[in-house]
Chain A
């Protein structure tokens, strides 16, 4: 039985669905793959949609979001097993 290697992700949380979708659109436009996921507990009180991305893309992604004035409200890392 093969075991899948755990994979780490950066997860960004946003104040509104609109902001999360604006961030998704922006990141996809600049070639950063993101996946919308239900906001995990690691984001604190934030609920709704969060964006999951590879750690290797995080610096670029967060810089682009800050430049577009849609910076995340919260950030966490999680491991998918």
Chain B
């Protein structure tokens, strides 16, 4: 690791002393994940589904097991309904572009990340009517506001994140599912900041589709995302290609899941690493989430104890995912992030966090925010170190 005092940006080892950017990606990965990825690369190198020889079969079985582990963790009764995608963004694109057609109308909350906002902008150009419901200043979408819009005109889908990557606000998905289904609409969810950090039971949640990242709260490697699609929802596939099985002589994609939505060679190391993470979270997820809540509480309180900070999102003690973003009266968010890195070897993110809608909603579009994301491996000492450094920077 770099010496906190040296500030040497050219050091060969870029690992920070304190990592508080878990909302962007989890790090360090649990040893179980590292070991599983390593085993995939060294022992399971065959192409899954593309051969019946021992190493290809072993890779296929490892992916089968990973899918089942993840389905168990996320409350998906039939693991075929849980699709591997290159990222949560790709999963969101499939979820939205696979279900919406010109002439459809959707109602969406104003806290969405660009993984949803940008596909919706493209769909709007193609003739989808996009109605944005303004969240409150803490980032919470009011189900009453959503119902008012859904009742106003036939609506194909209600679209909402599980939790905000900016404010940590947890959205009322259960209420939104009830509203959507009462009016014959779908509920489509971007769960990038939800799965892993929250106890997710997709069968009970009522979402018709739920996209999530594999490398954030779920602790897997980068380059792997998930899309749950309820069994009754007929998404149109967005990519065609080989699947390794089924009727290869036809030029159309198979209708069966998961192959219909998984054209091309899968990310075997990513999937197997994510499967190992799922097993770890199934065993230790409760303790993990309790630890995160305690760290968030201390971080939130500590920031408010420093003069000039406004913390975005829910008030102290209220439920949130482990994301705490703040703005300071006089010191720019970007500068705080830069100084934390250069002077203290602490990794956080400043700026707009790929969520301009959310920044506009909470009034930080012009100034951005400095974001602290806690997760696996973060300790109370890390949080106290960061708070002390922040106090020095802004004083």
Contacts and interface: CB of A to CB of B under 8 A. Distances in A.
A25 B63 CA distance: 13
B14 to A, nearest CB: 39
Interface string B229-246: 000000000000001111
A73 to B, nearest CB: 8
Nearest to A16: B259
Interface string A14-25: 111111111001
Contact of B259 (A18, A39, A46, A50): A18
Contact of B244 (A22, A37, A48): A48
Contacts of B257: 16
Interface residues of A, number: 22
A35 to B, nearest CB: 9
A49 B247 contact: no
Interface in B238-262: 243-250, 254, 256-259
Contacts of B51: 38
A5 interface: no
Given A17-B48, A18-B259, A37-B52, A45 B57 contact: no
A45 B249 CA distance: 6
Given A36-B52, A48-B246, A49-B52, A15 B60 contact: no
Interface in B302-346: none
B258 A18 contact: yes
B247 A17 contact: no
A24 to B, nearest CB: 8
Interface residues of B, number: 24
A49 B250 contact: no
Contacts, number: 66
A10 interface: no
A49 to B, nearest CB: 5
B67 interface: yes
A3 B250 CA distance: 41
B245 A17 contact: yes
B256 A21 contact: no
Contacts of A38: 51-52
B67 A18 contact: yes
Nearest to A48: B245
Contact of A49 (B79, B245, B258): B245
Contacts of B49: 17, 48-49
B247 A16 contact: no
Q: Which of A36, A44, A48 has the most CB of B within 10 A?
A: A48
A44 B246 CA distance: 10
B64 interface: yes
Given A21-B60, A38-B52, A49-B245, 5 more contacts: A15-B256, A18-B64, A19-B80, A46-B246, A46-B247
Interface of B: 48-49, 51-52, 57, 60-61, 64, 67, 79-80, 243-250, 254, 256-259
22 contacts: A15-B246, A16-B80, A16-B243, A16-B245, A16-B256, A16-B258, A21-B60, A25-B64, A36-B52, A36-B57, A37-B52, A45-B248, A45-B249, A46-B246, A46-B247, A47-B244, A47-B245, A47-B247, A47-B248, A49-B57, A49-B245, A50-B52
